[in-house]
Structure 1
Amino acid sequence: MKKENEQAAGAPRLKNQLISHPFTSGMIIGSILLIILVHIGFYKTYISHFPYFKDYTVPGRGIVHFNAIIHFHGMMMAGWFFLLLVQPVLILKGKIKLHRLAGRMSYVLAPLMLLSMYLVIHSSLDRALAAGQIAATARRMALDVPAMIFFAILYLLAIFSLHKPALHGRLMCSTAFVLISPALGRTFRVFLDASRDGSIDLSRNVIVIVVAVIAAADSWRTKRISPFVLVLGFVILNKIIWNIRDTSFWQPIAHAMAKVF
């Protein structure tokens, strides 16, 4: 009995029992799988070039140049995925003070994440506009801008729900779902020899299915509408925007947005 009381005293005191050990463990497993996926997806195009990062030529695309923006974006993404892994580990270990301290780091990391995403989009747009590639401009806006906006919304909602641990945890981990398409698409290109557009289409379909399953399971377990339903709406909208990337409806919108960027 004494040993059980000591274990209970060392366990994290959660205000909301919807943050269960299985859910926290699932966040850890999901974060590990995400980090593995990123390494697989970006190994050929980025990781394998460490530490020299020499320029190389890709047939049909020309010379790939590793600049400061790419490295900055890579570091911010790595930092965010590492944070998503560390936070549930700290919760599971009962290190609530460390969890909160690490969470405060996101106040700096999240804005830097958004800055890195903006710089990548801006750099790509400059190249497309300089080459007069109107279709490429519209595609870039459909591919990356929604993810940047959805990430910002989910993060802000997570911060505003700090007093609701269950909601906060779900919103924070859900930011990963709007970021994994590039890694998943590159993985499909490596293993399925899919085209660029085909791999993006497939990655979006897989993400929608995965989020739908998680939203349904979480809603059933908690007997209430899961926050992942909002994430499902975002990933579906993201897929719709990508599907209309070449239409006359989307292109004027994309060019208006490109002027802002």
Structure 2
Amino acid sequence: MKKEKEQLQRTTHHASPLISQSFTGGMIIGIVLLIILAHVGFYNTYISHFPKFEDYINPRRGLIHFTAIIHFHGMMMMGWLLMLLVQPILIRKGNMKLHRLAGRLSYVLAPLVLLSMYLVTYSSLHRESVHEGEIAVARRVALDVPLIIFFAILYLLAIFSTHKPALHSRFMCSTAFIFISPPLARTFRAYLDLSRDGSIDMSKNIIMILAGIITVIDSWRTKRISPFALVLGFMVLNRVIWYIRDTPFWHSIANAIVKIF
């Protein structure tokens, strides 16, 4: 009886036109590519210093000191990506019991991811407020704070839609977009010799295009507006915020945000 029930769950799941083999396969490929990108982007500034992580001089950023916050942040980011990779694999194998168990892990992991993002941003804001002034702080807020907010929103939407697998899987998958820009921008700086602002501009443009393509394809395939449209909206808003980062208008907003931090 138990085996029949599990088989029925597998059959029901795979029969859904909204959670297809192609969707889970695409998610697996996307997360694998993102993990590779993370290793490429952070190789020079982090991974290559394993295991001693001794202080060093970065030509662009000065003295780099590896703190516990940096290590904690790296572990949480990679932990989240690995969870996103495991989930569609379990779905494809029909192991929904283990899939749900891994999903419950996110109840602990997601707050830790948010905490690590907050701590890294707080540390950067404190350092830049002391050494580089108000403009640098406003830029840091524009770069990091929207991603923290977007991740929290997408994760909460995923949790609130657990009873709708098509929505739930897409919102969980969408959280991966938050992780693309940092390693992508670092890759451009390291291998294309772009400036910091130039690399960030290019990475944000590429992410917007990618979100747009996925939104169109998923909307066309499911014959309804894709949840990825929300991700596209977030990425466009993120691009706009970065675009106005040096305006008095944004500086006033950034100052208010810093007071909360």
Report the TM-score range of the alignment, normalised by the length of the smaller protein: over 0.9
User: Distance in 1 between the 2:61 and 2:211 partners?
Assistant: 33
**1:124 is the counterpart of 2:124:** yes
CA shift at 1:248, angstroms?
1.0
CA shift at 1:13, angstroms?
3.1
User: Distance in 1 between the 2:103 and 2:128 partners?
Assistant: 37
CA RMSD of aligned residues (A): 1.4
1:158 corresponds to which residue?
158
For the 8 Å contact 2:125–2:140, the answer to whether it is kept is yes
Letter in 2 for 1:54: E
1:83 corresponds to which residue?
83
For the 8 Å contact 1:158–1:171, the answer to whether it is kept is yes
User: Distance in 2 between the 1:209 and 1:187 partners?
Assistant: 18
Letter in 2 for 1:106: S
User: Distance in 2 between the 1:178 and 1:85 partners?
Assistant: 15
User: Distance in 2 between the 1:224 and 1:10 partners?
Assistant: 25
Determine helix, strand or coil for the equivalent of 1:57. strand
CA shift at 1:141, angstroms?
0.3
2:222 corresponds to which residue?
222
User: Distance in 2 between the 1:64 and 1:197 partners?
Assistant: 20
**TM-score, normalising length from structure 2?**
0.95
Letter in 1 for 2:164: K
Unaligned runs of 5+ residues in structure 1 are none
Deviations 1:54-77 (A, max 9, x none): 000012421000000000000000
**TM-score, normalising length from structure 1?**
0.95
CA shift at 1:12, angstroms?
5.2
- Structure 1 132/63 Cα, relative in aligned 2: closer, same or farther at 3 Å? closer
2:171 corresponds to which residue?
171
For the 8 Å contact 2:17–2:222, the answer to whether it is kept is no
**1:32 is the counterpart of 2:26:** no
User: Distance in 1 between the 2:150 and 2:196 partners?
Assistant: 23
Aligned pair count?
A: 255
Matches within 5 A, 1:198-213: 198-213=198-213
CA shift at 1:194, angstroms?
0.7
Deviations 1:64-97 (A, max 9, x none): 0000000000000000000010000000011100
**1:232 is the counterpart of 2:216:** no
Percent identical residues: 66
